[in-house]
Amino acid sequence: MTDYVQWPPNAKRPRRQLPRPTGLAGSAASLSVRLREARVAAFLGGQVGEPQDELDALISRTARLFSESIADQTRKDYARRWKRFVEWCEAKGFEPLDSPPEVVMLYLSDALGDGRAALGTLRSHMAAINRLHVEAGLMPPGDDPAMTMFLRTMRKAVAPRDPQGEISALKIGPLREVCRYLDSIGSDPIEVRDRALLSLHRAGVGDGEMARLQWPDVRLTEKRASLHLRAVRADRSDRTVRIDAHRDPGRCGVRALRAWRDLGGNTSPWAIGRTNPSGGRDDRPWTARDVYRIRKARLDSLGRDGRKAAIDDAIALLGETRPAVLRDKALILVGFAGAFRRPDLVGFRWPEVTLVDTGMVLRLRRSKTDRDGEGVDVGIPCGQSSTTDPVAALLAWRDRMERQLGTDYLNEGACFTVVGRAGRIGTEPLTTTAVTVAIRSRMAEAGVPGRWSGRSLRRGFISTAADLGLRLEDIAKGSRHATLDSLIRYIATDDPFRNNPTAQMGL
């Protein structure tokens, strides 16, 4: 006697019935269906459900292992494209799972539109549909011979690739430009103001007194600042506060006040007040509450483990290069020098960085071409120029993280983390999307034209090495490419006569 179970479960439109034998074999068939359902849910990023027993927990764990057989970003891309296919099928009245090849042909023809869709995009749609059918234990429609012929025909209908639409390669020239720009970024006017604010607070100036302080009441010399503080309340009298120069320039309150005055001049009568990112002042006075709010936010953002930063440390940190600039410069240079992918960069942790006499070694635990996690050591030599030295850039960023987060963080923390607007350095690693955003924004700020993304670093390394005439085998070793065919696709050739073999034949 044989029972039947419907797969995929759909009471409205049965698509397929799988035989389920009774007895022990029937139990195995039921297990197969449950695992397929869990695999589909896990692959799409959904919840498999709370395990009811030990077998449910084992099914959930097995489904997650299946979903981890490809890169997480690839899985997310497949899930997004599958969702689009499901929406199209629902609109047309088709069943997405167990789709015949003809339905997928119609979908790809619709996605092709007027021929502007890229061939790679159509192939990724096909790959997503195939993968979801595999997870559901069904025959992938892409394995049908008719589908193979259809995809071959679509190559003629797809518009030729526009060279302007390709991802730009961040070669050594643009790399130097963006690094010079990052080095030229001056102090943040708001940070300069807050540094002066904290210096006044350290000297005993109250929030209300600070809000009423005007530049005519401030006398600055090389070694001393004298402040005439007006009484906040009628029952109090004016007083004078003197601030002596600190032996440490980074913690010197006199220097902080002078830097703030020199940055904006006397465009506003108020010594401490509203400021925009470009340094412009506002004539409206602050209140004591405004001063308290800014002071508290700065100390909180520069602290660690939920505690406020010491005021001396906060003053020193505000007088240095912005943390986001340090991080982005290290991110760009290390990504270029190591030909790293975005998941590689966001996955690095400080214990995996080892300094040696000639540079540093980064332990790449797992990568796209190393699914088994055997790992590889990537050596990055010291740069010849301080502007583009990846080792110096990473050490500068590590020093800032150590001073702000503490030495213990370097024992296990991620290398590239989020940075808040107020200078707070978080412990959460950057996402791959954040890497792309950082590169695009910095290239735009530097005024370097191009279509930039996270892949620009890796492509720039490979293209620069090819321009220098290095052997493809050596480049592939540095970029950790499995095949030369995939390596060649990364090479961006700006000059068709560079390394042209015909020019060397003596014609």
Per-residue pLDDT reduced to its tens digit, 185-231: 988 888 889 999 999 999 999 999 999 998 899 999 888 999 999 88
> What are the angstrom distances between the C-alpha of 180 and each of 174, 176, 332?
10, 6, 12
Q: What's the mean per-residue pLDDT of the chain?
A: 85
How many CB atoms lie under 10 A from the CB of residue 397? 24
Distance CA 448, CA 175 (A): 9
Q: Is the pLDDT of residue 49 over 60?
A: no
Q: Is the pLDDT of residue 14 over 60?
A: no
Asked whether residue 345 carries a pLDDT value surpassing 90, the answer given is yes
Secondary element (H or E) of residue 402: helix 390-405
pLDDT given at position 165: 56
pLDDT in tens, 229-258: 988 777 788 899 999 998 888 889 999 999
Of the candidate ranges 144-158, 175-189, 283-297, 469-483, the one whose mean pLDDT is the lowest: 144-158
User: Which DSSP letter does residue 161 get?
Assistant: P
pLDDT in tens, 435-461: 999 999 999 999 999 999 999 999 999
Q: What is the structure's pLDDT at 162? A: 56
Mean pLDDT of 64-70: 80
Confidence of residue 8 (pLDDT cuts 50, 70, 90): very low
Say how far apart CA 42 and CA 298 lie, in whole Å: 42
Cis before 8? omega within 30 = yes
Weakest mean pLDDT among 13-17, 28-32, 35-39, 423-427:
13-17
- Enter the pTM of the model: 0.78
Residue 487: which residues within 8 A CB-CB, separation 6 or more? 462, 472, 475, 476, 479, 481
Three-class SS of residue 361?
strand
Q: Are 446 and 178 in contact (CB under 8 A)?
A: yes
Q: What is the pLDDT of residue 70?
A: 79
In angstroms, rounded to a whole number, what is the distance separating the alpha carbons of residues 233 and 236? 6
| Structural contact between residues 465 and 493, judged by C-beta atoms closer than 8 angstroms | no
- Pairing of β 224-229 and β 218-220: antiparallel
Confidence at 7, pLDDT banded by 50, 70, 90? very low
Any idea what DSSP says for residue 439?
Answer: H
* Average pLDDT of span 279-287: 79
pLDDT at 413 over 50: yes
What percentage of residues in the chain have a pLDDT greater than 70? 89
Q: Residue 370: is its pLDDT beyond 90? A: no
Q: Please, how many CA atoms are within 13 Å of residue 446, restricted to the half-sphere of its CB? A: 26
Which residue ranges form the domains of the chain, and what is each CATH number? 2-67 (no CATH), 72-161 (1.10.150.130), 189-318 (1.10.443.10), 329-488 (1.10.443.10)
Whether pLDDT at 270 is above 90:
no
For residue 112, the model assigns a pLDDT of 81
Rounded mean pLDDT, 93-111 = 89
Which of 41-50, 242-251, 428-437 has the highest mean predicted lDDT (pLDDT)?
428-437
Q: Which of 165-169, 363-367, 474-478 has the lowest mean pLDDT?
A: 165-169
Q: How far apart are the first and last CA of the chain?
A: 82
Q: Quick one: 11 exposed, middle or buried, by C-beta within 10 A (0-12, 13-18, 19+)?
A: exposed
* Mean pLDDT confidence for 266-272: 79
What count of residues does the chain have? Answer: 507
User: What is the β-pairing status of strands 2-6 and 17-21?
Assistant: antiparallel
